[in-house]
Amino acid sequence: EIVLTQSPATLSLSLGERATLSCRASQSVSSYLAWYQQKPGQAPRLLIYDASNRATGIPARVSGSGSGTDFTLTISSLEPEDFAVYYCQQRRKWPLTFGGGTKVEIK
Amino acid sequence: EVQVLESGGGLVQPGGSLRLSCAASGFTFSSYGMHWVRQAPGKGLEWVSSATSSGDNTYYADSVKGRFTISRDNSKNTLYLQMNSLRAEDTAVYYCAKGTVTTMLYFDYWGQGTLVTVSS
């Protein structure tokens, strides 16, 4: 099973700041990695797929990068709606796996 | 508008069974892989099971293999999850999710979830 480790667990930032979230895989997943956002009481939303492709309707301030075992989700300037929990997910091998999540909170 | 709507959750005793349903609309259901993902209270996301567009191929997490069965009825645009031999650790919100068009293995539309509580 491919284990995804996200860091940090919590990120405390202010509006307008840059958020950088990390996801590290226990073995190479090539570029087969997605990012999701989840707000309290809501279902997750797909943000990024195949490491760097924005899903439909996702703003340009959200970007993804990386390949192999190290991936980054960047939000260039935090807006109020960006404070949430973010998960990475790999599709390289069964079973599909998620990271443990990073919470982005208001400082 | 794409919609997926789960139903069938509730309180069940350990060892019991439950069948979840997911009604889909707004897309050609028979063309997409579909999935179940769960989230225990206060915890992260856990993939549970997937079915290809035809339903001919199914996949399971080790934690549910042999106890859960995924199926679909493309004539009814509905996905199912039959859950047997339920355990306390199966307590979670169960989400139904649609696979993406380029690959079925990401989840681009999710339902609001149905809560399954396993307790005596």
Alpha helical stretches, state H, A1-107: none
SS3 category, A81: helix
Which residues of chain B lie closer than 8 angstroms to A95, CB-CB? 47, 59-62
Residues 12-31 of A with CB under 8 A from B: none
Which residues of chain B lie closer than 8 angstroms to A36, CB-CB? 45, 107
H or E stretch including B10? strand B10-12
Which pLDDT score, from 0 to 100, does residue A75 have? Answer: 98
The per-residue pLDDT string of chain B (120 residues; one tens digit each, 9 = 90 and over) reads 999 999 999 999 999 999 999 999 999 999 999 999 999 999 999 999 999 999 999 999 999 999 999 999 999 999 999 999 999 999 999 999 999 988 889 999 999 999 999 999
SS3 category, B88: helix
Phi-psi region of B85 (alpha: psi -120 to 50; beta: other; left: phi over 0): left
- Residue pair A24/A4 in contact by the 8 Å Cβ criterion: yes
Chain A nearest-CA residue for B42:
A40
Residue among B105, B112, B113 whose CB faces A96 most closely: B105
CA–CA distance, A62 with A60 (Å, rounded to integer): 5
Which pLDDT score, from 0 to 100, does residue B101 have? Answer: 85
Tens of pLDDT, residue by residue over A59-98, are 999 999 999 999 999 999 999 999 999 999 999 999 999 9
Which pLDDT score, from 0 to 100, does residue B50 have? Answer: 97
Which pLDDT score, from 0 to 100, does residue A91 have? Answer: 96
Could you give the dihedral angle defined by the CA atoms of residues A2, B61, A101 and A3, in that order, rounded to the nearest 10 degrees? -10
Nearest Cα residue to B41 out of A88, A83, A41, A30:
A41
- Residue pair B49/B66 in contact by the 8 Å Cβ criterion: no
User: Do residue A95 and residue B110 have CB atoms under 8 angstroms apart?
Assistant: no
Q: Does the beta carbon of A100 lie under 8 angstroms from any beta carbon of chain B?
A: yes
User: Do residue B110 and residue A101 have CB atoms under 8 angstroms apart?
Assistant: no
Which pLDDT score, from 0 to 100, does residue B102 have? Answer: 81
Which pLDDT score, from 0 to 100, does residue A92 have? Answer: 96
H or E stretch including A47? strand A45-49
Residue among A43, A89, A91 whose CB faces B95 most closely: A43
User: What is the count of residue pairs from A and B with beta carbons less than 8 Å apart?
Assistant: 56
User: Do residue A99 and residue B44 have CB atoms under 8 angstroms apart?
Assistant: yes
Which residues of chain B lie closer than 8 angstroms to A96, CB-CB? 47, 50, 105
Which residues of chain B lie closer than 8 angstroms to A1, CB-CB? 62
Which pLDDT score, from 0 to 100, does residue A33 have? Answer: 97
Which pLDDT score, from 0 to 100, does residue B103 have? Answer: 82
CB neighbour list of residue B32: distance below 8 Å, 6 or more residues apart: B53, B98, B99, B101, B104
Q: Could you tell me whether strands A70-75 and B92-99 are parallel, antiparallel, or unpaired per DSSP bridges?
A: unpaired
Which residues of chain A lie closer than 8 angstroms to B100, CB-CB? 46, 49
Tens of pLDDT, residue by residue over A27-51, are 999 999 999 999 999 999 999 999 9
Which pLDDT score, from 0 to 100, does residue B87 have? Answer: 98
- Provide the greatest CA pair distance for chain B: 43
CA–CA distance, A82 with B112 (Å, rounded to integer): 20
Which residues of chain B lie closer than 8 angstroms to A43, CB-CB? 95, 110-113
Chain A nearest-CA residue for B108:
A46
